[in-house]
Each structure stands twice: as structure tokens, then as C-alpha cells.
Amino acid sequence: MAESNSLQNIAAIIYITPENSKISVKNDFLQLELTAPNEEGNIETKTYDRIFLHRAFPFDHPYSYISVLDKDSKEIGMISNVDIFDEDTSLKLRAELDRKYYAPVIKKINSVKERYGFSYWNVDTDAGPISFTLHDTYRSMLKVEHVRIFITDIDSNRYEIPNVEELDHKSYKKIELYL
Amino acid sequence: MKKSWSYNPSQPNSIPEELSESLTKRGISKENVRLLVKTDMNTEMVRCDNYLVVTDSELYIISGSNTLSRKNNVSIFSSKKLQSQFEELPSQNDTPAVFNIKDYENFKVEELLSSSRLVAKSKNDDSYVLIANMSNTYKNDMYNFVRYLNDLVQKGEFTPEKEGKHSKNVFCPKCGNRYVDPERKICPKCMDRGKVIRRTGVFFLKYKVQIFIILCILIVTSALGVLGPYVSSGFYYDEVLDKNGKFYGELLLVLGIIISTRLLNTIISIFHNIITSRIAANLVYDLKKVIFSAIERLSLSFFTGRQTGGLMTQVNRDANTIYWFFCDGVPYFLINIVQVIVIFIIMIIMNPLLTLLSLVTVPLVVIAIKSVFGHMGKLHAKRYSRSRSMNSVLSDVLSGMRVVKAFSKENEEIERFDSRSRALAAAEETTGIFSTVSFPSISFLLYASNIIVWAIGGWMVIKGSMTYGILLTFISYMNMIYSPMFSFVDMTSQASDSMNAMSRLLEVMDAKPDVEESPNPVPLTNIQGKVEFRNIGFSYEKNRKIIDGVSFVIEPGKVIGIVGHTGAGKSTLANLLIRLYDVNEGEILIDDVNVKDISFEDLRKNVAIVSQETYLFMGTILENIKYARPDATNEEVIEAAKIAGAHDFIIKLPDAYSTQIGFGYKDLSGGERQRISIARAILRNPKILILDEATAAMDTETERKIQTALERLTVGRTTIMIAHRLSTLRDADKLIVVENGRMPEFGTHLELINKKGIYYNLYKMQAQALKNIGIES
């Protein structure tokens, strides 16, 4: 048992687990029924018509440390890992997270043209061919763990290159400059 | 090609042709379509062409894919005329393709991280349904659509915006790419270069005489240059050293000529350098002045949207590049062309065969140089980006040294620096090796053609068909022709650098301030200080509302408090009043005059703000306080400082009011800086005073003291106090509670307590906190 003044006790994070909750889907959206202490410290069961999922560590832990928010963006609790739920629920949670953090994976870079501080990209992704534009190419490419790149275009759409070193040689050459 | 398109409700004809079939199939005639919007994903997040069609009662989802195909009998001359064909996808999921819009309310766009979706609330069971997904590219279209749709559902009609920003074309008609800034309608890709050069060239008009002189000098020097080989080789061998020559034996004369041309050349080039240095310095100064004043004119949003740290360095570098283009690049380019042509003609006259031979390796060399320069450019860019990343670590660590030491992370930081530094070293190594390998190789190629000419020419001399002098002259000319030719190759990359610099310059100059001063301002004399917010809506980023429908009136001389959680939009309200930003909806009035109609000078003279971000400029404390009113007397400054509670600490400093403060404000604490900026605002003596968390960085005792002083000051002055500590606001006449950009509560302290709403909760919480430490409030 942790000491009463430990960080954990002070923070008092509510973890949403299969034991204290029920997650279901209604009209494509997730619903949550949770039994947990409320602000006054009394245990109560509450139903949230819609819940919103946020990754605490979107790059490193896409399916763990998930913050669950209500429709007013107030945190209801956290899910330590979606896989602690049964397979069906876990799949639903994963699907919702994948939608929220939607980022087509770039498979091949057909062309990158740099003009006056903007670059025009034409790529093949797992969602089909896409063209997009970046402002300040170098800063639009977020490097995670050296080889993983997240690209944010001027419309704030995101694209992912899971491993630049696994791109074909021609594609790699086109972006080598920015790495 | 990416092409966004959104339906303009005022033009029913804009329904895309390819949808006709799908509409007919559903029994919708074009006249019945009230709204139409396109997204790029279906509800399963699969990319496709997804249309939402709204009639008076239904919303249809038509999803499929557009394919472009050429019409069958189109002639090759109009091959660009592509016909769009739309093929519907079969419905794959259980989301219905038709919604009865009367069954839903509150259609809204929900923003996910990098995509958005349209949802609606069902009237039957209050649950939400998903209607469509889209990438953020289509988000703005959707926001407009939703606004119209909600109006249509609620009122049965909607009024399309006349000047719909988003309904207009946001794509360059020439290349189909999106305008970077839809307001500017300039496509960087299709920019008119001639225009850019002409507009930048205006700066050089001031120096047209000097530039003309430079051009003349260049002509003279290059003429002398062309003459040189003839005098030093051909003439010398054939006329002076040769027994049959006209000037046989007159060595002194020849030496005289050579020395005097050399001398003339030197004098001219010194003169040339003096002129260019003068123009360079003045021109770079001119450019910087223009850019800096353009920057100062711009609204705050320009700076938040751009990386401003390097802005001035960029300006410096750009100014030099532009200078180079007009003063070195273009004149040399012209001269080189003339020189090449002249030398070429001379060479052909001297010996056509040798001329041909001398050019044998040139194509090879040009190709080699081009690829070397191309690769070199990439290597340099790589080196530059690596050094940038190394420097960023360096400055990061140095300014955060306190934290590094506190967590004893020295070794990790060394490691981090080391890896970046190593990367830079590697890039430098590659660059170095590449240049040492490539340039001698190119020289060798050039040398090869030299050898050929020497061999064939030597044979000709032996045969007697050419004199030794002519051969030597020829070879000198041959070597002279190479360098201008190669400079053309290099020219292209440098020219594009200059184009970049010029367009950046124009970008800054053309950037329009979003907040513009009214051309015919209403004069404000003797203002009373009445402030009214009328249904204000505002967003920093398009369509992401920070303030939504806030209205209130502050009577002259009253003190009003704004409370709310961090990030609720409190400071934004203050920024809107002083027009750091302009409202998107509604109006803000001072004494019943719209702030947009008040001149900046009147506005800022009558409204002063002390914000949570305090900035002190380099200079003395006195100068900093007087910044608000340069004509204030020293007494006034001291009084202001006294009211602000700054006087006591200032006077304890060795240099008191003359203490120099730098841009790191190492000498002053946060609370001290805040007090100086309060003094600054007080000195301005405005009718309307905004205190935005002005006392947040102070201890309670100091805060109390300043408040008592301010209380006296606020008499007869409209005061807006923003705070999250409620005790700060105990003297406010009325309180505004802001939450998520809305204003749910407005009233006096007592009214709000009795209402038992948000304010009551906040109050209870803070009182509880005080109780916990033994203070009853």
C-alpha cells in the first residue's frame, strides 16, 4: 500500500478498467458507464453519452495512457492500456484512437518541389495518392526517434513516415536534405 | 490534381456536372438543392469524393470517386480539357446515406487532431450521429456549410455571405496549388518573376548613376581584358621579338604599355570597389529600414504566425543577396555575355579549326559543373541544417544551465551536444572531400582541351600555317572564355537564391496588417469611459472560436472584474479592446464609438493595459516608465512608481531610476517588472485602465498595497481587472464570468453568489483553500 502522501495518492487519478466501467458504442460514438468516486469522494455510477480519447504519449504509446474526456473536455479518467478490456471493446477503442490521430502513412515520395519557403509534395500513402503543401519544410517535419517522421501540412493535416530508412532510395534522397 | 470546391449558395449553377446522374437517381432536381459541400473521406475514413447534398428536408450523402478522363473526340490541341466522371461507391457501412434534417439539431464540426468530422444531435434521443469525415483541408468549407445548415434547419432559410472568403477560389488557377495565403492570392510557384525584379529594382533607382558608372567600368575593364592577351602574347612575340616585326627590339615601349594598362586597371578597380562598397552599405541600410518599418506596422498576429527570432538576420542576409543580384550579378552577367561573344568572334577569325577543338570538352565540363554545383548545394544545405541543429542545442543548454545543473544532467547534455556535433563534422567532412575531389577533376577536363589545342596548334606552327605568337594569343583567349561561361552555370543557382530573397522581402512589405487604422477616424475628446461589448465573436485561428457571443456594458468610472479559468479567454477580451486583434463578429464600443473608427493614437492614449506578459526594453528604468508618455516630468514618473509600489524597490537600487536594465532583466524579479509596467500604465493616465493579472506575480502583501493605491487611482476611471485570484477583485462593481469563450454569468458579487453557479463554485473553492490553512474568509 502506498503511503498516503505519495504522488499517486495526491494526484488521485481515476483509472478506467473493465471492472469499474462499461464501454459501448452508439451511433459510431463511444459511451461510458463508470463507477468511481466523484468530487466529494463518494462512489457513484455515471453514464457519459459521449467520451473523447486523447493519447498522453501519442508517438510512443498509441494505445496506452489514454486520457478519457467528457464532452466539456474535462478528464473523466485514464485508461492504462486499451488491451485490458475485452477484445471487442479494445478494438472499438483502437478504432476511435486511430480516427482521432488519423495520419496517412507515406509509402513513396513522388516529388518534393521547394519554392520560396514552401514545398509541394506528391506522395503515395496507404490512403492513396495525396498532394500537399508545407510551409517551412524543415520545421514542418517532426522527428521522433530519429527515423520516424510526422509531417504537418499547411492545413494541419498529418502524415507519417514510420521509418525513413525503409523508404525506397529515390524517395529517401528527396527528403534527405530535411533530415 | 487537388481541387477544392465548395458550393456557393448564391449560384445554384455551381453544382458539379458529374453529380447530375446521382442526383437524378435520388429524385433530386438541381433547383431543390439548397446546400452542397464536398469532403474527401467517407465515414470509414476512406479517401473518396464525398458529397453532402441538402434539400429542404433531407441531407444526402453521395460518395464515390471522381475520375478524370479525356473526351473521346477531342483534338490533341485541347488535350487539357479533361472530363470529370463520377462513379458512386456502394454503401459499405450501416451509416444511412440519407438524413432527415428536421430530426436533427446542432450540426457541428468536431476537430480531431488532423482530421475533422461533421456530427449532429438527434432530436429523438439526444444522441449524436456521425455524418461525414474530412481532412482538415476541407474543414473551412465545412464550417461554412454547417453555419448555413443550422440556419436552414432552425429558420427554414439562410443568408449566404456575400463576401464569402472561403467560397471564393483559394487555389491558383495556373498550377492548381492552394494559395498559401488565401487573402493574398499570390502563388509562390507561379509568381511573376519580372514583377518581383521590377519592384525590388525600385530600390536601386536611387543609385542609378552609380550603377551606370559600374557598368561603364566593367565595360572598360573587360575591353582591357580582351586586349591583354593580344599585347602580352601575339604582339610581343610576333612584332617585338620577331626580327620581321614592326616594333622589333622596342622592349621598353612594350613594357611601358603593359605596366600602364596594368596600372589603369588597378586604379579603375579601386574606383569600382569604392562605389560598390558605398552602394552596398547604403542599399542594405535602405532595405533594412523598409523591412523594419513594415514589420512594425504589422499586427500582432503576423508575429505569432511566423518565426520572428531569425527575422532580422534573415533581413540582413536577404538584403545582401538582393544587393549582389543587382550590383554584381546582373552587370557581370551582361559583361560576360558580351565578352564571350567578342572573344569567340576573335578566336574564329584567328583560327576556326582551333576554336572548334577548344570547345570539344566544354559540354562535358558544363554538365560536370552543373551536377557538382547541384550536389554541392545539397551538401551545403545539409551542413547548414546540421549546424543549425547543433547551435540550437547549444543555446538551449546554455540558457537552461540552471536546470541542467539542478538535475545533474551534464553528461546527458554533453552526449546530446556530441551527437549533433558529430553529425555536423560528418557533413563538413563530406563537403570538404567532395569539393577537393570534384574541382580538380573539372580542371583536368579543361586541361584536356588545352592539350588538344597545344598539340594541333604546335603542329600548325611547325607547318608554318600559324605564328607562335598567334598560338599563344589564341590559348590565352581560350582560357579567358571559360570562366565567364562557367559563371553562367553558377548564375542560375545564385539567381534563384536572389529571387527567394526578393520574394521574402516583398512578402514582408506586402503583408497587410489585419488590424487597420480607420482612414477617417472619429475624434475622441473628453472621453467618458463607457465600454460596450456587443455580441463579440473572435478566433485566433479561423473558425476556432475563442470568444463566442460575449456582451456587456461598463458604465463610465466603474470597476469591472473578469474571472474565469486559465485559458477561458479573459486576456483575449482585453486584447480585443485595445485592438491588438480585431473581432470577427459583433462590435466593441467606447463612448458609443466603434473602436475600429477610433484612431490608434486616441485609442492607445485613452486605454492602457498592464498585462501578465511584461516587457521592459533595454535602457534605464526611467526610460521604461516614460515609454508611455515621453513628455512626463520626473515627478510624475516618481508618483506613478509610488502608486505602482515600484518606488520603494527602485530607490533601493544603487542607481535608482537610472538603473540600466537589459533584455534578460537579470536584475529584476517578476514582481518588480510587473510593478514597473503598472507604473508605465499609470503614467499614461488613461480613462480606461485594463489590469490583466497585473499583480499575479506579487506576494499578497505587495498586491494589497498596490491595490489600495490603485483604488484611489481607479476613481473616475473605467477599470477592467482580470484575475483568477478572486480576492483581487473584491472591489469590482460588477463581475463577468468567462468560461470557454462564453459569458455565462454577469452581475455583482452578491448576485453571483446567490446564483450558485460557476462563480459560486470558484468562490467556494478559494474560500475552502483559505479555510484549510486556517483563515476564515
pLDDT tens-digit profile of B252-288? 877 887 788 778 878 888 888 888 888 878 877 887 7
How many CB atoms are located within 10 Å of the residue B355 CB?
A: 21
- Is the pLDDT assigned to residue B648 strictly greater than 50? yes
- Contact residues, B window 132-151, toward A, CB-based 8 Å cutoff: 133, 135-137, 139
Judging contacts by C-beta atoms under 8 Å, the chain A residues touching residue B565 are: none
- What confidence score (pLDDT) does residue B164 get? 45
Please name the amino acid found at residue B403: V
At B139, is the secondary structure helix, strand, or coil? Answer: helix
Q: Does the pLDDT value for residue B6 go beyond 50? A: no
B541-555 pLDDT, tens digit per residue, is: 655 677 877 888 888
Residue A19 touches partner B, C-beta closer than 8 Å:
no
Convert the pLDDT of each residue in A151-168 to its tens digit. Answer: 988 888 889 999 988 999
- How far is it, in rounded angstroms, from Cα B274 to Cα B268? 10
Residue B163 clears pLDDT 50, i.e. is over it:
no
Q: Which chain A residues are within 8 Å of B119, Cβ to Cβ?
A: 29
**Residue A108 pLDDT class (50, 70, 90 cuts):** very high
**What pLDDT is recorded for position B286?**
82
Secondary structure element (H or E) that encloses residue A35, with its range: strand A29-37
On average, the pLDDT of chain B sits at 77
How far apart, in whole angstroms, are the C-alpha atoms of residue B248 and residue B237? Answer: 10
**For residue B4, what pLDDT band results from cuts at 50, 70 and 90?**
very low
Read off the DSSP letter of residue A70: -
pLDDT at A134: 87
Cβ–Cβ < 8 Å for B418, B359:
no
pLDDT range class, residue B94, cuts 50, 70, 90: low
Q: Of all residues in chain A, what percent carry a pLDDT higher than 90?
A: 17
**CA-CA-CA-CA dihedral for B280, B285, B290, B294, to nearest 10:** 130
What is the pLDDT confidence band of residue A90, given thresholds at 50, 70 and 90?
A: very high
Please tell me whether residue B171 adopts helix, strand or coil conformation.
strand
Chain A residues close to B115, C-beta within 8 Å: 99, 102, 157
Grade residue B453 by pLDDT with cuts at 50, 70 and 90: confident
> Lowest-confidence range among A133-147, B54-68, B161-175, B422-436?
B161-175
Contacts of B378 in chain A (CB under 8 A): 176-177
Q: What is the pLDDT of residue A122?
A: 92
Give the length of chain B: 777
Which tens digit of pLDDT belongs to each residue from A21-74? 898 888 778 889 998 887 777 888 889 888 888 888 888 888 988 888 888 777
Q: In this predicted model, what pLDDT tens digit does every residue of A112-133 receive, in sequence order?
A: 987 766 888 999 999 888 989 8
| Residues B539 and B564: beta-carbon distance below 8 Å | no
Q: Please name the amino acid found at residue B206.
A: K
Q: Which residues pair with B553 in a beta bridge?
A: B532
Q: Which of A82-91, B270-279, B538-547, B624-633 has the lowest mean pLDDT?
A: B538-547
The ranges assigned to domains in chain A are 7-100, 106-178
By the CB < 8 Å criterion, does B336 face chain A?
no
Host H or E run for residue B690: strand B688-692
Percentage of residues of chain B with pLDDT beyond 90:
1
pLDDT of residue A155: 83
Name the 3-class secondary structure at B17: helix
Cα dist from B540 to B300, B543, B572, B609, whole Å:
11, 8, 9, 20
pLDDT, tens digit, for every residue of B439-451? 788 888 878 888 8
Instruction: Examine the predicted complex and report whether its ipTM is higher than 0.90.
Output: no
Q: Burial level of A45, CB count in 10 A (0-12/13-18/19+)?
A: exposed
Q: Is the pLDDT at B373 greater than 80, yes or no? A: no
pLDDT digits (tens, 9 = 90+) for B206-241: 788 887 888 888 788 777 777 777 776 777 777 777
Scanning A142-161 for CB atoms below 8 A from B yields 152, 154-158
Residues of A in contact with B129 (CB under 8 A): 27-28
Contact B620, B661 (CB under 8 A): yes
**Which pLDDT band holds residue B742 (cuts at 50, 70, 90)?**
confident
- Nearest CA of chain A to the CA of B39: how many Å? 14
Using the 8-state DSSP alphabet, how is residue B10 labeled?
T
Query: Does pLDDT of B665 surpass 80?
Result: no
**Per mean pLDDT, which range of A126-135, B102-111, B239-248 is the poorest?**
B239-248
> Is the model's pLDDT at B106 over the cut of 90?
no
Mean pLDDT value of segment A4-27? 77
- Which residues share a beta bridge with B608? B689
Q: Average pLDDT in the B94-99 region?
A: 71
Cβ contacts below 8 Å, chain A against chain B, sum to 94
CA nearest B147: which of B537, B659, B422?
B537
| Distance, CA of B419 to CA of A146 (rounded, Å) | 12
When comparing pLDDT for B393 and B310, which is higher?
B393
Q: Is A4 helix (H, G, I), strand (E, B) or coil?
A: coil
Distance CA B474, CA B461 (A): 12
- A81-85, B318-322, B404-408, B483-487: which has the highest mean pLDDT? A81-85
With 0-12 / 13-18 / 19 or more C-beta atoms within 10 angstroms meaning exposed / middle / buried, residue B724 is middle
Percentage of residues in chain B having pLDDT higher than 70: 84
With CA atoms as reference, report the closest residue to B3 among B16, B13, B21, B19.
B16
Contacts of B465 (CB under 8 A, 6+ apart): none
- Judged against a pLDDT cut of 90, whether residue A109 lies above it is answered with yes
B767 min Cα distance to partner chain A (Å): 16
Q: Measured between CB atoms, does B423 come within 8 Å of chain A?
A: no
A106 touches chain B (CB under 8 A): no
Q: Are B504 and B530 in contact (CB under 8 A)?
A: no
Q: Is the pLDDT of residue B346 over 80?
A: yes
Lowest mean pLDDT among B129-138, B183-192, B240-249: B183-192
